[in-house]
Chains A and B, each alone.
Chain A
Amino acid sequence: MVRKTLLTLVVLAGLVGVPRQAMAGCAVDLLDCYGRAAGRDGFWMRTAAGLDCELDFTDCVRRKLIGR
């Protein structure tokens, strides 16, 4: 009984704690981009591609955070 109650509380807390309409688009795009960057040949190409991923992510976030 105690375990079922705790499990219910955990599920409810998870639902309450998730921000409304989480910014899945920007973050998912970033992860996909990192994956593609990791496949580039050479350390410097991978590093540069990773930096571009971060810049693309900040562009995405910028529209949501300071776009009016």
Chain B
Amino acid sequence: MTRNMTGLIAAIVWFATGASCSARPHHASSGALTLRPLFGPAIGSEVIAGRAEDLEPHDPVVLLVGDQDLVTIDLAARAVRRRTIQLPLGSTCWGLARLRDRSLWTLKGRRALVSVLASGEVQRELPLSESQFGLFGQGDRLLYQPADFIAPAPALFAGRPGDSQRAAWGDLRTRPFPLSRVSVAALNFVSCGTGLRAERPCWFPDEPAVYLVDDEGASRRLELAGLYRVSQEVLLTSDNPARPVRDAYVDAGGAIWVLSTGAPPSPAPDVLGGWVLARYGPGGEPMGAWRLSEPVRLILRAEPGRALVLTGAGKVAEAKP
């Protein structure tokens, strides 16, 4: 066999095995965990585009779902309420931020900021001077992620609603990659979860890691052992990307609950969500990882010993490792 044919076969074998290996997700090691359904469904199969910060541990959870719907989930009362944000048909909203004064804010398109009530009524609409990819709340300031294709750069900028200028906030920075501009931007999307102590967890879509960010923006990065890191190519080209971190929540005891895509069963149901729930100590030390009986989309609340989650079917369920 010629050297060229040998090289071609080797390349084919590498491509075939490399592509499938990079797509293989991680298997939980602490055993299976059966979810106990409590109530719902609270949402359908639409995208969860934002989650308002919890100012008090037992605040109802408020989600932005689809393009412009607010869903309020009262876990204590086991009640769900859905309202449509009163914007023109075809408007697309992203992100949901709650400030200390309990006001709710969302991005309308990329260049407008809108204040809404839980009823869906629009209170204020403010133009933004630059396009924004993301929005979060921090005290009396909004945290913006600008639509910036340049990396490395500060990831988040802070300002009060209506401020014309925003200052770089914290030490979270976007990462450079030898990829196209849009791929670099996509891999640097910031997501943030809920933290009941002084720090909240934030993460990038490609990393099995969280950044614990305090109220002033200082962050510490924790590698999360046991979560599989998928290749950037798989992440950017999949319709339902296998993300190492889909959601994260720091409970009152400082434990970090992480929802990860993991390995779906075969055949896999066509439902959104992650199949692995993992827990880590405040320093990132593994405390267990469990394979879920059904996919989960969001950690609604976590306390030492159990988590309330939103399943792929849109129901509220209890996970008790």
Query: Across the interface, which residues of A come within 8 angstroms of B185, CB to CB?
Result: 54, 58
A4 within 8 A of B: no
User: Which A residues are in CB contact (< 8 Å) with B189?
Assistant: 62, 65-66
B191 interface residue (CB < 8 Å to A) = yes
Complex CA distance for A64 and B234, rounded to whole angstroms: 12
Q: Please report the C-alpha to C-alpha distance between residue A13 and residue B241 in the assembled complex, in whole angstroms.
A: 21
One digit per residue, 1 when the CB lies within 8 angstroms of any chain A CB and 0 when it does not, for chain B 213-233 equals 000000000000000000001
Q: Which of A9, A12, A21, A62 contacts B240 (CB 8 A)?
A: A21
Q: How many Å lie between the Cα of A65 and that of B5 in the bound state?
A: 39
Q: Which of A6, A67, A68 contacts B5 (CB under 8 A)?
A: A6
Shortest distance from the beta carbon of B125 to any chain A beta carbon, whole Å: 19
Chain A residue numbers with a CB within 8 Å of B199 are none
CB closest chain-B residue, reference A62: B189
Interface residue tally of chain A, by bracket?
A: 20 to 34
List, in ascending order, chain A residues with CB within 8 A of B298's CB.
68
Q: Complex formed: what's the CA distance from A68 to B186 in Å?
A: 15
Contacts of A2 in B (CB 8 A): 1, 5
Instruction: Provide the bound-state CA to CA distance between A6 and B315, in Å.
Output: 50
- Specify which chain B residues have a CB less than 8 angstroms from the CB of A65 in the assembled complex: 186, 189, 205, 235-236, 241, 243
Q: Is A1 an interface residue (CB 8 A)?
A: no
A36 to B163, CA, bound (A): 35
Q: Please indicate the chain B residues that have their CB under 8 angstroms from the CB of A58 in the complex.
A: 133, 147, 182, 185-186
Cα distance A63–B238 in the bound complex, in angstroms? 12
Closest approach, in angstroms, between the C-beta of B197 and any C-beta of chain A? 22
Per-position 1/0 for A7-36, Cβ under 8 A of B: 001101100110111110000001000000
**How far is the CB of A48 from the nearest CB of chain B, in Å?**
12
Q: How far is the CA of A30 from the CA of B181 in the complex (A)?
A: 13
Residue of A whose beta carbon sits closest to that of B310: A68
- Identify 15 residue pairs between A and B in the complex whose beta-carbon atoms are under 8 Å apart, listed by A's number: A2-B5, A13-B13, A16-B20, A19-B233, A20-B240, A58-B147, A59-B92, A62-B186, A65-B205, A65-B235, A65-B241, A65-B243, A67-B47, A67-B49, A68-B246
For the complex with contacts A59-B92, A68-B298, 7 further pairs of A-B residues with Cβ separation under 8 Å are A2-B1, A9-B12, A16-B19, A58-B185, A61-B182, A61-B186, A65-B186
When A and B form their complex, which 9 residue pairs have the shortest distance between CB atoms, in order from nearest? A21-B239, A67-B47, A68-B48, A17-B19, A13-B16, A13-B12, A19-B237, A16-B16, A61-B186
